Amino acid sequence: MKKSEHASGRRDFLKGLLTAGAAGALGGIPGSLLAPRRAGAAPFDPSEYQVFRNACPRNCYDTCSIKTYVRDGVVQFVEGAPESTFTKGSLCVKGYTYPRRIYSPDRIKYPMLQEGRGSGNWKRISWDEAMGRIADKILDIKKRDGNLLGLALSKYSGNFGITNNCVEGMMSSLGYTSRFVGTPCWPAGIDAQNYDLGDMWCNDPEDMARARYIIVWGANPAWCSMHSMKYLYAARERGAKIVVIDPILTQTAAKADEFWQIRAGTDGALALGMARHLLDRGLVDQDFVSRCAVGFEDFAAYLRANVTVEWAAERCGIPAEAIRAVTEEFAAARPATVWIGYGMQRHTNGGSMVRAIDAFVAMTGNIGVEGGGVRYGHLRTWGFNFHAMLQQPPEGSVGFTGATGPKGEFDFADGAKPAAYSDRPLNMNKTAQEILDAKDPEIRMLWISCKNPFAQDFDRNKLEKAFKKLEMVVSVEQFFTETVRHSDIVLPVTTLFEEWTVNVSYWHYWLSLNEQAVKPMHEAKSNLEIAALLSRAMNAREPGSCTFPQEVDGKEWMIKEFNKGIYEQFGLSSWEDLRRGPAKARMASSASWHDRKFATPSGKYEFSSELCARNGFKALPEYVEGRKATAPFRLMTPHVQFGLHSQFVNLDWMEAFYPEPFVYIHPRAAAARKIEDGAMTRVSNAVGEVVVRACITDTVPEDCLVMYEAWFRKLDFNVQNLVDDCAADMGAMKTGAPGVALHDQFVDIAPVGGGR
């Protein structure tokens, strides 16, 4: 099928869904959402609705503040909160589907027991039976092993609402357990910025409007942070130039003034080449490197001895003259800024590449400058009490002798720190291998919450083997995901509209309340209520076996997360102020490191980091080769526009926009493999294979394939079938485990027939 025919077919599909006759296909929507408007009626009468404050809890830059409109106890529609200058009244396409999420007919409605894991033979059970079975298993493990290290928790970022840290608190309340630690998301970059600056701390994204030059390096905000795009446009209107560096011609790249299609994994070489040109042309900010930094002369000597612009150009594929021109433009513009995307550091040399980019920006003196900075992320507004997390184990709990407890991903304000429990840390990015290798005791039971391992963890075939070793798997979920299919018990959990919590961002500086807008649908319960139910079941069988409260109030637990520091930081007299709208942190400056006092051991920016060297890496941000290719094509699996990991694409509303996945291949590569546009292909490597339809496009490099990660409820598609658990270089220092080299994967592709 030709591209034009394919596009026409999709338009017809969309048109059919959006006609009145398609309303029946949207079954499960409350009748009021489909009712026709009364003739002559006003388009909107605010008095007809109750308005609640909510916040998107997904793992996304934007963490949008939401106004939710409820009538007759039903969520009618949502909009962005206008009080937030970041959200500014709008949501992304995913955010506007939230009403469908709560009322989806596919939601898990009751606790369910699967008789034969993977059989699909599910039966409804009561909450009492579910918690009784789970409690019995936990006590059985404790009796057999003499401890609870055979019980493991797999939890990450499916719901960032602060009170959802009660899942960790629930585990601690049982005793010392095994915890999967680390993050697949951004750890190499976190460590890199800690070595250079002493912490991961970015400028307020809203001050990008002041920048005179912007390099978006490995990020695609047009898809993944749409609210940030208005600041890029505002900067351009004031005369700024926007350069995008990415292996893929993304939607953001298409809107840039200049696009560099870099060879994946060579970003460090490019940054070092740019740094060398600053040195050669005398464009280094001598005041910054002499007063505010240490190790610059050593770094300069390394550059002179090992790096040239031509050397960088040969490795990264960007012409030397272009490198020189942009370097000079960046140095001349004040302020100038670089936004480092998370995808760029998902390589075996990811941390070293971030350090090289940090060094380039530091040499221009753009750190600590409003509108400048090297932007990656921050956790400066996360100073909650973490009351839900910091629950104490029962007296006499037996733990993992000599263990130091997993290192948390978050810094805690006001002196609040997670207790140093003697839990057994396991690497989240090697989940399958850790389950297979665990001994004394083995992992017998896995509790999964706010996470979908079969869509997010690596080496799918190995993960299936690992799950077969487990005696019980409990998933806390909203939909029948692939992970639920590999579980014994699934517990239905609430959506954001059905629970109390509070949210902040790792990108912007706004704080948002999340009110319970409607009663929980069906028999869904919040993670907090589930923890209390488990405590009740445990203590009914063995008094004192769980210290988690047996009665909880979600609103009260949300209130307990606030403290004086939070109130002062956001200018609040009470949490109730947030009912009038989100609040922004009060800051001395929109610039991180505005006082040029860094959190490194030296108190200065460290071009040369002794801490980095002690942890087994180079003291300087030297060039490090990436992973060697093991197949003809590099496979890149970035985020899709209409989903977030395994969320959103499963909703029937979203399927109208994105009904099936594709593998994107360059025309010359497709011709060499005799692959036609729209044809079915088999993409394979030593890990596994995926059968998927091809889309021929020149937006991807000739030696790369692109396959966006997403979960399709009706399709057997999973990019993780092709992704192994190869580690990135950094991440262990701050997150407890190194990152994962998601984009250092290599595959081959062949046609299998079935073209349109």
Tens digit of each residue's pLDDT (9 = 90 or more) over 410-449: 443 344 444 445 899 999 999 999 999 999 999 999 999 9
Query: Per-residue confidence at 688, pLDDT binned at 50, 70, 90?
Result: very high
What integer is the mean pLDDT of 715-735? 96
Q: What is the mean pLDDT of the chain?
A: 92
> Which conformational region is residue 368 in: left (phi greater than 0), alpha (psi within -120 to 50 degrees), or beta?
left
Cα 622 from Cα 269, distance rounded (Å):
9
Q: What is the pLDDT of residues 209-255, one digit of tens each?
A: 999 999 999 999 999 999 999 999 999 999 999 999 999 999 999 99
φ, ψ at 461 (rounded to 5°)? -60, -40
What integer is the mean pLDDT of 532-544? 98
Distance from CA of residue 221 to its chain's centroid? Answer: 14
Decide: helix, strand or coil at residue 493: strand
Residue 30 pLDDT > 50: no
Query: What's the one-letter identity of residue 10?
Result: R
pLDDT score for 23 = 30
What does pTM read for this prediction? 0.92
Cα 519 from Cα 499, distance rounded (Å):
8
Query: Per-residue confidence at 390, pLDDT binned at 50, 70, 90?
Result: very high
**Contact between residue 546 and residue 174 where contact means Cβ atoms under 8 Å apart:** yes
**Contact between residue 633 and residue 620 where contact means Cβ atoms under 8 Å apart:** no
Cα 58 from Cα 604, distance rounded (Å):
35
Which of the two residues, 703 and 43, has the higher pLDDT score?
703
pLDDT score for 483 = 97
Decide: helix, strand or coil at residue 245: strand
Cα 444 from Cα 469, distance rounded (Å):
7
Determine the Cα angle at 267 with ends 263 and 269, to 5°.
100
What integer is the mean pLDDT of 604-609? 98
pLDDT score for 47 = 86
Which of the two residues, 242 and 43, has the higher pLDDT score?
242
pLDDT score for 400 = 54
Which of the two residues, 18 and 717, has the higher pLDDT score?
717
Q: What is the pLDDT of residues 14-29, one digit of tens each?
A: 333 322 223 323 334 4
Domains of the chain, each with CATH number or no CATH:
50-182+427-587 (3.40.50.740), 187-376+595-614 (3.40.228.10), 633-753 (2.40.40.20)
Q: How many CA atoms lie within 13 A of 4 on its CB side?
A: 0
Residue 538 pLDDT > 50: yes
Query: Per-residue confidence at 408, pLDDT binned at 50, 70, 90?
Result: very low
Residue 79 pLDDT > 90: yes
Q: Measured between alpha carbons, how far is residue 521 from residues 17, 96, 445 in Å?
A: 26, 19, 28
Distance from CA of residue 158 to its chain's centroid? Answer: 8
**Beta pairing class for 689-696 and 680-684:** antiparallel
What integer is the mean pLDDT of 687-694? 97
Q: What is the pLDDT of residues 88-126, one digit of tens each?
A: 999 999 999 999 999 999 999 999 999 999 999 999 999
What integer is the mean pLDDT of 527-553? 98
Query: Per-residue confidence at 500, pLDDT binned at 50, 70, 90?
Result: very high
The set of long-range contacts for 132-137, using a CB threshold of 8 Å and a minimum separation of 24, is: 132/537, 133/489, 134/472, 134/474, 134/489, 134/534, 134/537, 135/534, 135/537, 135/538, 135/540, 135/541, 136/541, 137/445, 137/471, 137/472
Residue in 388, 381, 389, 391 with CA at minimum distance from that of residue 414: 381
Angle formed by the axes of helices 320-332 and 267-280, nearest 10°? 60
Token reading at 103: 């009322």
Q: How many CB atoms lie within 10 A of CB 244?
A: 31
Which range (42-51, 255-264, 499-508, 648-657) has the least confidence? 42-51
Token reading at 43: 């388009």
**Contact between residue 373 and residue 594 where contact means Cβ atoms under 8 Å apart:** no
Which of the two residues, 6 and 682, has the higher pLDDT score?
682
pLDDT score for 612 = 98
Token reading at 484: 């639920």
Burial of 239 (0-12, 13-18, 19+ CB in 10 A): exposed
pLDDT score for 398 = 75
Percent above pLDDT 90 for the chain: 89
pLDDT score for 46 = 79
Percent above pLDDT 70 for the chain: 91
Sign of the torsion angle spanned by Cα atoms 585, 588, 593, 597: negative
**Contact between residue 681 and residue 663 where contact means Cβ atoms under 8 Å apart:** yes
Q: How many CB atoms lie within 10 A of CB 688?
A: 18
